[in-house]
Amino acid sequence: MARPREFDPEEVLDRSMREFWERGYRETSVDDLVAATGVRPGSLYNAFPGGKRRLFLEALARYSALVVPEKLGALEHGRAGLAELRAYFDGLVRDLTTPEGRMGCLMVNSTMELAAEDSEVGALARDHMSRLERNAERALRNAKRRGEISKRIDPRAKATQLMATGMGLMVVGKTDPGRKVLETIVASAFADLG
């Protein structure tokens, strides 16, 4: 008879997610994961068949399910408009001016580290970026319909640009350039909406 698990798999995922977020996939060893989770290697492999890689992919999925909605906030609501879109970017700036925020986005970090060589990470990254872009496009369409932005703005094209700006902002933010630099990037991205 198999022994019952002596750990909470969701807690293991949360702690593993934190390790991958702080160190990156390649720099996080199984020993690091064992130390962070308190779970023996054999138990980790039994709980997450496929080892470190499977644990990483599940941690990315958990990040997308738990952390991303918190960051997107009201932007994910169907009635979101320009204020919610700007609030999302202002939140990025606020986060990126803190030591924890400068860890960046686990999804963006993982994209830069692995997406070109790992099709599953690439697919998760594309889904993440599409989610951001869809939310931005919907907010821009709502804003255009309400007269909050210029009629000449193409919501789809602008959403793509804003998604790329957001990704770039997270990369630049890791260098601790200061709030003013980050605010300037955001202001420039929104300047043509009026």
Residue 2 pLDDT exceeds 60: no
Span 74-109, pLDDT tens digits: 999 999 999 999 999 999 999 999 998 989 899 999
Rounded (10°) angle between helices 51-72 and 119-145: 10
**pLDDT band at 4; cut points 50, 70, 90:** low
What confidence tens digit (pLDDT) does each residue in 159-184 have?
A: 999 999 999 999 999 999 999 999 99
User: Given this model, what pLDDT does residue 1 score?
Assistant: 47
Domains in the chain, please, with CATH? 62-193 (1.10.357.10)
DSSP H or E segment with residue 60: helix 51-72
Write down the mean pLDDT value for the chain. Answer: 94
**pTM for this predicted structure:** 0.89
